[in-house]
Amino acid sequence: MNILQPVSRANQTQGFKVPTDLKQIGFRLTPYLFLLPTLGMLTAFSLVPLLYGFWMSLHNINVLHGRSEFIGLQNYFNLLHDPKFGLSLLNTAGYTLAVVPSIVVVSLAIAIFLRKSTPARLFARVGFYIPFVLSPVVVATSWKWLLNEDLGVVDGFLKWAGIATVPWLTDDTAARISVVVTTVWNLVGFYMLMVLAGLSQINDELYDAARIAGANPWQRFWRITLPMLRPTLLLIVVLATIHATQAFETILLLTDGGPANATRLVVQNMYDSAFVRLEPGYGVAQSILLLPLILFIAWLQMRLFREEKII
């Protein structure tokens, strides 16, 4: 095998052909048994509530009076005409498109840079992980204070350097950028871990052979690392997309969806419906409407990464 050719993953993803012989029916049960714990828990705590939630979304629930009235799909029709929902969808789309590539690039870069297990790099790994562990209150407060346009460090530095200050949290575009930066900062550690795990699967001998054959670091990255990381990359892209669509708490504390709804995402809209406007049926309807949409995007991403046929 020529080391400088992309490594083929063909022999690693076939899976098994399960014998269809009825005598081996016990054998066939195995995958289902292995899936039982996860499926059991998910059914009880995610899927059953979701079904109940769907039932809720078919009602106009009046929390104040404890009454609910069946209205069929009316909530869904209303959603299609709801400008606030539409705006939050647009904001979420923009946010996702900005966050996902940033996370992929940054986490890849950091993980590859911190691959070696020297003490300094082990320390750095912990350092990059720390923001992920902070609770949203702390993340939001610290960033909000740093980005404060009257007294914050960032604008203070800009002023000292003679550059114009930026209204980080009070201008629509700047606020969107601030929110994306804060999110990437917060989550990079999580994705870095996954890349580190994926990198550990790559056989060192491949790199040694490549080095002997004269490949430079860039070539080694493109021809060995990246292809071998494909499952991990898919993992990161799909997860980052899903997490981006569910972003809520940190942004709420940072900008409260402001200024003037520029950073208002879908989950905040749902929360507002359910707990401020006290229309829980309408709130759940939003999450149910979005579910197939996001699932479809995840499926598309899996196709794009040319995983063997998923569906």
219 or 246, CB closer to other proteins?
A: 246
- Span of 30-38, 74-82, 92-100, 218-226 interacting with other proteins by CB under 8 A: 30-38
Examine residue 145 and tell whether it contacts other proteins (CB under 8 A): yes
Residue 70's DSSP bridge partners are 59
Nearest Cα residue to 297 out of 232, 231, 246, 237: 237
Query: How far apart (Å, rounded) are the C-alpha atoms in residues 230 and 106?
Result: 16
Using CB under 8 A, which residues numbered 221 to 280 contact other proteins?
A: 228, 231-232, 234-235, 238-239, 242, 245-246, 248, 255-256, 258-261, 267, 270-272, 274-278, 280
Angle between helices 172-199 and 83-113 (to 10 degrees): 40
Number of residues this chain uses to bind other proteins (CB under 8 A): 130
Tell me if 240 sits within 8 A of 105, measured CB to CB.
no
Nearest Cα residue to 77 out of 263, 272, 282: 282
We find the least distance from the C-beta atom of residue 144 to other proteins, in angstroms, to be 7
Using CB under 8 A, which residues numbered 173 to 212 contact other proteins?
A: 185, 190, 193-194, 196-206
Examine residue 25 and tell whether it contacts other proteins (CB under 8 A): no
We find the least distance from the C-beta atom of residue 222 to other proteins, in angstroms, to be 19
Instruction: Out of 70, 77, 123, 222, name the contact with other proteins by CB under 8 A.
Output: 123
Query: 245: helix, coil or strand?
Result: helix
98 or 264, CB closer to other proteins?
A: 264
Cα–Cα separations (whole angstroms), residue 123 to 118, 139, 224, 244: 9, 21, 27, 28
DSSP state of 187: H
Examine residue 46 and tell whether it contacts other proteins (CB under 8 A): yes
27 or 222, CB closer to other proteins?
A: 27
